[in-house]
């Protein structure tokens, strides 16, 4: 008889959030004075129609205007703010899974909003008491979809080595508010209206009951649209480029990606009872809902996270998964979807493994 295959299982989740502010307060207290003339009217409409009610920031523009800060100054602040936020999320995930930090075989960190060396992976491994032989991986600049290739990587490690692994996603988009522009820059207005800060961690264990088995992670990249979503390092922080044609590209690819993923597991759309869709914005969620023929109820958790937390980049799909898991009746099968530079679409199929 052959050896039993090890199944990677998400056995613990942890979330950490900085202070929140109401979207309306952010508009009235800062951004209304940031924009002028016709740009101001356009920006107010975009803020009002963003689908966001509240969002978090380690550096609130209501308290501190960093739009003129250098990238060097922003990166120094990144490390100061990201360390305690990441530590809190990891601690909660480890407690949730009942695992000690020194049991981990791999610690992976995803972040596209800041860089430092030694990085979060080294400093948090030190502060949390991880073993000296814990392997580490830092994934940078993948953007909003990074949690899913991160989850696939730690899942593969668990399946191959039979040891626990941990994924941490930390994004501090509030550090990249751009200086005012004399021209109408709709892409920057959208970025300023949507993005938010958060940290989320997932502990993945070998063949553990009482968690979500990671059945498969899949991707498709349309490199002909590589200029549709960008994240450029400038002297004044990182600058978002976000084409209005992104939803159109998603509409071309998302159904095929999901159908193919499910077919490889002899499943159909009707077999999925949980959806964690990265809320890149209301239009993104609308396209996914239409192309996959989903109900409003199926999209409710994704829309609720957008409203209550904003677009937190890579942690967001983990925030949605945590919300689904904590609902009165957690879904049995979950499809996670996230999108980002490339233009890249990622999907993951998770299946609940009940306690015996």
Backbone angles phi, psi at 64, to 5 degrees: -150, 120
- Give the Cα separation of 320 and 255 in Å (integer): 20
Strands ordered across the beta sheet of 211-221: 135-140, 106-111, 165-172, 197-206, 8-16, 211-221, 344-353, 333-340, 274-277
Structure tokens belonging to residue 63? 């308290």
Structure tokens belonging to residue 249? 């590209």
Dihedral sign (CA 42, 45, 46, 47): positive
Whether 302 contacts 276, CB under 8 Å? yes
Show which residues are catalytic.
144
Structure tokens belonging to residue 53? 């009610």
For residue 14, the tally of other CB atoms under 10 A from its CB is 24
- Give the Cα separation of 162 and 5 in Å (integer): 10
Torsion of CA 230, 182, 309, 242, to 10 degrees: -20
- Which single residue is written with the structure tokens 């498969």? 216
């Amino acid at each position: 008889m052959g050896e039993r295959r090890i199944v990677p299982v998400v056995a613990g989740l942890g979330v950490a959030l900085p202070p929140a502010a109401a979207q309306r307060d952010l508009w009235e207290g800062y951004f209304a004075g940031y924009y002028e003339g016709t740009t101001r009217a356009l920006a107010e409409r975009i803020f009002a129609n963003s689908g966001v009610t509240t969002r978090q920031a380690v550096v609130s523009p209501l308290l501190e205007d960093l739009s003129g800060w250098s990238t060097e100054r922003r990166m120094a602040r990144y490390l100061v703010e990201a360390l305690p936020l990441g530590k809190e999320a990891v601690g909660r995930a480890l407690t949730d899974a009942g695992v000690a930090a020194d049991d981990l075989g791999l610690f992976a960190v995803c972040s596209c909003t800041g860089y430092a060396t030694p990085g979060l992976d080294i400093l948090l491994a030190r502060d949390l008491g991880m073993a000296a032989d814990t392997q580490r991986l830092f994934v940078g600049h993948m953007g909003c979809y990074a949690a899913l290739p991160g989850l696939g990587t730690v899942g593969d490690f668990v399946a191959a080595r039979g040891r626990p692994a941990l994924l941490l996603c930390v994004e501090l988009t509030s550090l990249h508010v751009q200086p005012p522009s004399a021209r109408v820059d709709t892409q920057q207005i959208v970025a300023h209206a949507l993005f938010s800060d958060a940290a989320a961690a997932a502990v993945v264990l070998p063949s553990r009951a009482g968690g979500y088995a990671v059945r498969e992670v899949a991707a498709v990249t349309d490199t002909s649209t590589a200029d549709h979503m960008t994240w450029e390092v400038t002297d004044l922080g990182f600058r978002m480029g976000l084409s209005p044609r992104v939803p159109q590209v998603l509409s071309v690819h998302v159904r095929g990606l999901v159908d193919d993923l499910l077919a490889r597991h002899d499943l159909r759309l009707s077999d999925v009872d949980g959806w964690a869709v990265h809320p890149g914005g209301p239009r993104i969620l609308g396209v996914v809902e239409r192309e996959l023929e989903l109900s409003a109820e199926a999209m409710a958790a994704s829309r609720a996270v957008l409203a209550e937390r904003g677009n937190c980049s890579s942690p967001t799909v983990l925030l949605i998964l945590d919300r689904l898991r904590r609902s009165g009746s957690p879904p049995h099968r979950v499809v996670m979807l996230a999108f980002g530079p490339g233009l890249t679409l990622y999907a993951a199929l998770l299946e609940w493994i009940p306690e015996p």
